Amino acid sequence: MNAMFRGKGWSFGFRSTIMLYFFLLIVLPIAGIYTQSFSLGWLTFWESVSDPLALKSVLLTVKLAVIATLINMLLGTMIGWVLIRYRFPGRRLLNSLVDLPFALPTAVGGLMILLLLGPNSLVGGLADKLGFQIVFHEPAIIVAMLFVTFPFVIRAIQPLLEEMDKSEEEAAYTLGASRTKTFFSVILPTILPGISSGAMLAFSRALAEFGAVVLVAGNIPGKTLIASVYIFGEIESSNPQGAAAVSVLLLTLSFLILWTVNLIQSRRTGL
């Protein structure tokens, strides 16, 4: 592509502005946080990271994100399947609704869960009587994570299901396989890459989620305090270095996941 407007001056100007924007907005801040977290030295970094509350928050986040992702894989596969394969009234509406968590502010999502499952609500009161609590406890966090990551697996497997050649299934039937067997040996392998990449994106998102969780979790240190809320707490307590240290931990984990997803996808498309 040639220069924007004739003349080398213009093109140089454009290119530098765009690249500068990119660099300043994305690269610099991330580099900044890595350097800042070590700014008071390795020791302080280590102390911040090994603070038992910090560690607990990270572990809790990972644990709950894993659970939410697993549930998402099951539900997402089923829903993706139903929305592509079956025709029924309301299908198109539901298909559009899948994207709702992408459109809705996370804080609103959190409020919704609070209203629906909180102690003053129908469901919440019922659960209370049955002996387990939702809001301000771990289950609420999982529900919040489920909500914000809902579309990922579904949207990842739908194109795979659409592209899939029906003749593979038909071949299996003619060879005597039952519907269940066909599902597990023919269909599942085809959509597996979608399930796994969707799951990874969902996991990465769940790890990072803040808005929906902070409203419903109660944020009790060591119990329902997830990593992002812990970091927020450290910032509010004027301990940016501590916050930065734990952020670095969380960031590195997320980057690894992102890198893995990129790797898998590029291998598949042969880029």
Partner 1 sequence: MMRRLWITLTYIVFGILLITPLIKIFTGTWADGWSGFVAGITRQESLHALMMTAIIVVVVTALNTVFGIMLALYLVRAEWIGRRVKRLLNSLVDLPFAVSPVIGGLMIVLILGPSTVLGTLFEDAGIKIVYALPGMILATLFVTFPLMVREVMPVLQEIGAQQEEAASTLGAYSWYTFWKVTWPSIRWGVIYGVVLTVARSLGEFGAVLVVSGNIMNKTQTATTLVYQDVENFNVVAANGVALVLAVFSVALLLLMEWAKKRKEVH
Positions 83 through 122 that interact with partner 1 (CB under 8 A): 83, 86, 88, 90, 94, 96-97, 99-116, 121
Using CB under 8 A as the binding rule, whether residue 195 contacts partner 1 is answered as: no
- Residue span binding partner 1 (CB under 8 A) among the ranges 50-58, 126-134, 160-168, 242-250: 242-250
Using CB under 8 A, which residues numbered 140 to 159 contact partner 1?
Answer: 143, 146-147, 150
Using CB under 8 A as the binding rule, whether residue 49 contacts partner 1 is answered as: no
Q: Is 153 exposed, middle or buried (0-12, 13-18, 19+ CB in 10 A)?
A: buried
CB of residue 46 to partner 1, shortest distance in Å: 19
Of the candidates 112, 193, 206, 191, the one whose C-alpha atom is nearest the C-alpha of residue 150 is 206
- Find the binder of partner 1 among 16, 21, 70, 237 (CB under 8 A): 21
CA quadruple 201, 204, 208, 210: dihedral positive or negative? positive
- Find the binder of partner 1 among 48, 69, 158, 228 (CB under 8 A): 228
Q: Which is nearer to partner 1, 193 or 211 (CB)?
A: 211
Strands of 3-80, DSSP E: none
Q: In this structure, are residues 164 and 187 in contact, taking their beta carbons and an 8 Å threshold?
A: yes
- Residue span binding partner 1 (CB under 8 A) among the ranges 47-55, 81-89, 127-135, 169-177: 81-89
- Find the binder of partner 1 among 9, 29, 41, 222 (CB under 8 A): 29
C-alpha dihedral over 126, 129, 133, 136, to 10 degrees? 80
CA–centroid distance for 262 within its chain: 15
Q: Which is nearer to partner 1, 46 or 259 (CB)?
A: 259
Using CB under 8 A as the binding rule, whether residue 8 contacts partner 1 is answered as: no
Of the candidates 244, 254, 252, the one whose C-alpha atom is nearest the C-alpha of residue 41 is 244
